[in-house]
Structures are given as structure tokens and as C-alpha cells.
Amino acid sequence: MVCRAVVWIGAVALICCVSEAFAADISDSIKILQSVQPGGVGTAAGRSAIDSLAGAGTEAILPLLKGFKGSSPLAVNWLRNAFEEVVEAERKAGKTLPAETLEAFILDRTESPVARRLAYETLRAQAPEIEARLIPDMLLDPGPEFRRDAVARLIDEAGKADDAAAATPLFRKALAGAVHEDQVKKIAEALRANGETVDIQKHFGFLAKWMIVGPFDNKEEKGFAVAYTPETEAAEGRAPNTAAEYDGQLGKIQWKPLATEDDYGVVDIGKQIENFKGSLMYASTTWTSAKDQQVEIRLGTPNAWKLWVNGKLVFEREEYHRSSAMDQYKVPVSLKPGENVILFKICQNEQTQDWAQKYQFQLRVCDSTGSAVLPGLATAKNDRQTGESR
């Protein structure tokens, strides 16, 4: 009897040890994948780690998904491949994936949206009914793809409504979660057709009021590299001196206010001022932040440009007339509490083709989902959660 007990205790201890070692292996392998660096650094270790994880079976599924949070985009791709290897092996072995664990992970909004979406699509392949059960509650999810699905269902429902009175609240609800241009466009058209007011500028967080000065010289595209006074002021951490007078391309110039009423915040220099060929302009505005925060400045322009935030050059791009679109560029920036100064340099070249005449930009402040971050204490999210209509 004593002997049996000893054997039993020993067996349990062995299982515990093996299990702990197994968990440690999984954890170590995930850390290796998380530490893969650009330039191909760490890839040999990464390959071994995937081999190790692929052999771990379902035990590795949840730790792998949790590993996405805080990992670099590069590391996320390594983790994703390891996850897919594990899932494929389990399916080939005829095993069912742990549905409850996956669903709990999907519903945990503190986890990585990319990992949650991967878990969702993996589980949906096994249990298609989860789509109808989970998606309707994901209208304000941190994951843009979840939001898109939830919005699409509401648009569809509104489209089938008996009349405008029934459709309008559904479209309003859909708008609250919509972060993609095509869906917002569709919703706004439907609401406006029903006599509703929709503030698309505010919905997306476009900056509509600017001070602008120019033209400065950009003949032969040389002005892109020239630091005219507005940007030297910015580089010194000073706000643009809007009372100053500068030597411009065509004489003395001063800052002037310029606003846009375009739904998508397009400031059209070519139409609102003039399409000075071989010129450049500076546009400046301020954005009041309630706190230290990381946001994205997303912009679209067919012209060459530079962007400063609080005197720091955050990105520059010398490309002319290769198309323009909303959210063409996404620039992560840090904002400080209080007033933040945004300075934008936009350059026009001397191309003569019809398709090379645009001189415009649109710029907005949003979070990583594409949801507007509004200046001051108000946020788009707060507005939506309090049910305030636009």
C-alpha cells in the first residue's frame, strides 16, 4: 500500500515537473520569437523556437496568442506562423481546438487586436456560428476588423428596414463604430438622404482650420531641402510667428487663415489660393491634448511634404503626383498635455500633365484603429459612448 502511494506520488511529481518544464519551454520559445530583430537578426533561433512550439500542441495556443501583446510587428509575424503551425498540426491529428479558451481570449479587449482576430478566425473555421453571436457586440472594439464586421451587419440591417425612421437609428449606431472611409461614406449618404446631419470631419478627426504662408520657391524641386524661416522657427521649438512677414517667391508674404469645409478635410491650395507651379507652402495649426498620449497623424497628399510636431520633424517624403488618398501616410507621434504645434510643409513641382496639378492635403489625428482622437477633453469615443449625436 505504502509502495503504491510512493509510486503514485512519484508519478504526480514527475508529471508536474514535465508539465512545468514544458510550460517553461513554451515561454522561452515565445520570448525567442519576440526578440527577433530587423535585418534577419535572430532568425535561426526563431526557426528552432517554431519547431519547439509546433511540437507542444494545444498547450502553446494561448501563450502564443498572449505573446502578441506588446510585440513588434515583426515578432507578431513569427508568433502568427508558430500559431498556424500548431493549429494545422492539431487539425491534421483530428483534434478539436479549445473553443472556450479561444472565445474567452477573443472577448478580452485588453489583448492584442491582431491576436484576437486570429483566434476568432481560427475558431470560426471550427464553429461558424460564433460570427452571429460575437460580432454584434464588437461595434466599439479596439480591433478595426471586428468593428468593420459589426458595422457591416448594421448597414445591412438598416438597408432592409421598412422606412427611414427605422433605418436612421441603425445607421447612427453603425456610424458610431465605423472607422473605414467606405463604410462612413455609405452611412453618411444614407443618413443625409434621410435629412440627417452628419459631421464627417469631426467623425474622422480632420484638422480643418489652418494658418498658411507661401508661396516659397520650389523651382526644380529644390525648395524641399531648403529650410525657410517657418521651419527654422519650428526646429528651434518656437511656434510660427504668425505676425511675421517673409520674403516669398513672389514678394512679401504673411500667414493667413485658411479653413476647409470639405467632408474629408481636404485643404485645396490649388483652388483655395492658387496652383503656383514650383512653389511650397507652410501650414500650421495647434492641437490641444488633455494628456501625454501616443496618436497617429494620418495624412493624404499627392505632393512632397514634411511634418513637424512641437518642432520635431516626424516624417518627410519627396514624392510628387503618385496618387493621393485618405490615410495615405500614418505617422505615429507623441503629444504633450496642452497646446501642440503642428507644422506641415507642402511642395508643388512643375509637371505639366493634367494629372499632376493637384496641390492639396488632408490631415487628421486618430488612434491606431483609425478612430478620431479629438482635441481637448472630448474624444470621439467619449462622444459615442455617451450617445451624443453628431
Partner 1 sequence: MRLVLFSLCVLASLCAARQSVAADWRQFRGNDANSVAATESLPTELSGDTVAWKAPLPGRGLSGPIIVSDKVFVSASSGYSHDRLHVICIDAASGEQVWQRQFDATGRTMTHDKMCNATPTMASDGERVFAFYSSNDLICLDLSGKLQWFRGLGSEFPNASNSLGMSSSPIVIGTTVVVQVESDAEAFACGVDTVSGETKWQIERPRAANWTSPSMLPAIGDQPALALLQSSKGLTAVDPETGKIVWNFEKGASTIPSVTVSDGAIVIPSNGLTAIRSTGTAFEELWNASGMSPATSSPVVIGNTAFVMNSAGVLSAGDTKTGERLWQLRLRGSFSSTPISAGGYLYAFNEAGTAFVVKPEADKGIIVSELDLAETILCSPAAANGALYVRSDQTLFKLAKRP
Binding region for partner 1 (CB under 8 A): 36, 38-41, 43-44, 46-47, 50-51, 54, 73-74, 76-78, 80-82, 84-85, 88, 114, 144-145, 148, 180, 182, 302, 315, 317-320, 322-325, 328-329
Least CB distance to partner 1 at residue 33 (A): 9
Least CB distance to partner 1 at residue 71 (A): 11
Q: Which is nearer to partner 1, 76 or 213 (CB)?
A: 76
- The per-residue DSSP string of 260-328 comes to ---TT--EEHIIIII--TTEEEEEEEEEEESS-EEEEEEEE-SSEEEEEETTEEEEEE---SS---TTS
Least CB distance to partner 1 at residue 169 (A): 25
Q: Which is nearer to partner 1, 20 or 88 (CB)?
A: 88
- The per-residue DSSP string of 6-38 comes to HHHHHHHHHHHHHHHHHHHHHHHHHHHHHT-BG
Specify the length of the chain in residues: 390
Q: Which is nearer to partner 1, 78 or 287 (CB)?
A: 78
Least CB distance to partner 1 at residue 323 (A): 4
Q: Which is nearer to partner 1, 246 or 329 (CB)?
A: 329
Least CB distance to partner 1 at residue 78 (A): 6
Q: Which of 210, 200, 306 is nearest to 255 (CA)?
A: 210
Q: Which is nearer to partner 1, 340 or 349 (CB)?
A: 349
Least CB distance to partner 1 at residue 319 (A): 4
Q: Which is nearer to partner 1, 40 or 195 (CB)?
A: 40
SS3 string, 178-243, reads CCCHHHHHHHHHHHHHCCCCCCHHHHHCECCEEEEEEEEECHHHCHHHCCCHHHHHHHCCCCCCCC
- Vertex 139 angle, CA 135 and 143, to 5°: 85
